[in-house]
Each structure stands twice: as C-alpha cells, then as structure tokens.
A and B are shown apart, each in its own frame.
Chain A
Amino acid sequence: SAVISQKPSRDICQRGTSLTIQCQVDSQVTMMFWYRQQPGQSLTLIATANQGSEATYESGFVIDKFPISRPNLTFSTLTVSNMSPEDSSIYLCSVEDQTVIGELFFGEGSRLTVL
C-alpha cells in the first residue's frame, strides 16, 4: 500500500488568486493522478503526472488553469490558477498500486473554497 499526504487539507481562497496543492507519497511511484470532486459530485480525473515529462490532461482541463509539477517519483503539485467560485472542490491525489493494476490509493484530499 501507499501512504499519501496532501497539503493543505483545506483552504479558503479569494477569487483571482492561485493555490498550489502538494502531494507526497511514501514510496516511489511511476504515475500520480489528480482528481477533482465538486460538491455533491463524483470524481473527475484532471490529469496524469509523469516524472520527467509534461502531465497528460483530460478533456476539459488545461495546463494554464491546472499546471502540474512532478519533480521526482514521490512528489507532485497541482496549482489551481486564477480561481473562481466554480473551482471550489476537493482535489485528490492518487497513485496506482505497484502490484495490482487499477488499484488506486488516494490522499485525503484538499478542500478548496473560493470566495
């Protein structure tokens, strides 16, 4: 299993500002994934973060709005840029189990409220 730590756990932000969320894993992993969960909704994959290359974004998500860094095999950041109230969500980092394909471990999430 993998233990994932996210910071901040929650934050209240002003419209127009940007916030960077950090994700730290206790073991080296090939890929890290960022999901968004809007209030009362299911999870939506934002992007896949690969070490040493640019992140791969899903339809509807762009790098300018959600820049991602992956400097090493245990760490990634997601920035939510130029925030609006519509960005109020829980952002979750996840990694895939190294032995069970499709088994993802999730962090506890970062709950952002944009005023």
Chain B
Amino acid sequence: DAKTTQPPSMDCAEGRAANLPCNHSTISGNEYVYWYRQIHSQGPQYIIHGLKNNETNEMASLIITEDRKSSTLILPHATLRDTAVYYCMFSTGTSYGKLTFGQGTILTVHP
C-alpha cells in the first residue's frame, strides 16, 4: 500500500500561510502526489496534484522536493474555512482513482 507520513495536527493563524508537510519516501517515478482535504461532515475535496514540478492553482501550491520523497502543500492565506483534515497520497493516476488515504493532518486555522 502507498504510505505517507503527515503530522497529526497543525495550527495556523488566519491570513498567514499554512505549510503542510508530507513524506512519501516510497513513491515511484511514475506516481503523482495528490492532496485532498475533508471539511467536517463533508466528503473529501481535491486540492492539487503534481509529479515532479511545483504546481499552483487557485486553492494552493504544491512544492515537491527534487528527490520526490516529500512535498509541502501551501495555503498562502489561510482562512477559518480552511480548517479541515488534509490528506496527502500518491498514485500512478492510472489506477482509476484508487487512492489510499492516510490519517492526514488536522489543520486548525484560528483568528
């Protein structure tokens, strides 16, 4: 199974950047890093994914180390609505959505 390691919890002040780390040392060369989040009582929501290069979209930025063994999800200006569990995963992407969710990081954004 694809295993990732994330801190169980993190805090962030509203308006500041939230940097969520993830270790995925067993990732293969053709596997993408995916980030999802789950706000309380909702289904998970896709955030971003990447292979080698750093990626940015309207929600977040993804920084992947050169050896691809770890990555960081950056929420540039965290809001209270970003309080959620953040999951980091990796997958070939060709497994038709077979994503293995780890325990994730509970991010709490406080005023």
Q: Write the residues of chain A forming the contact surface with B, with a CB cutoff of 8 angstroms.
A: 4, 30-31, 33, 35, 42-45, 48, 92, 94-97, 100-109
Contacts and interface: CB of A to CB of B under 8 A. Distances in A.
Interface stretch (B11-19, B42-50, B69-77): B42-50
Given A94-B43, A109-B43, A104 B102 contact: no
Interface of B: 32, 34, 36, 41-46, 49, 87, 91, 93-94, 96-104
A54 to B, nearest CB: 15
Contacts of A4: 43
Contacts, number: 59
B99 A104 contact: yes
A42 B104 contact: yes
A102 B42 contact: no
B31 to A, nearest CB: 10
Contact of A30 (B45, B46, B96, B99): B96
Given A42-B104, A45-B100, A101 B43 contact: no
A42 B94 CA distance: 22
B44 A104 contact: yes
A55 to B, nearest CB: 13
B96 A43 contact: no
B44 A102 contact: no
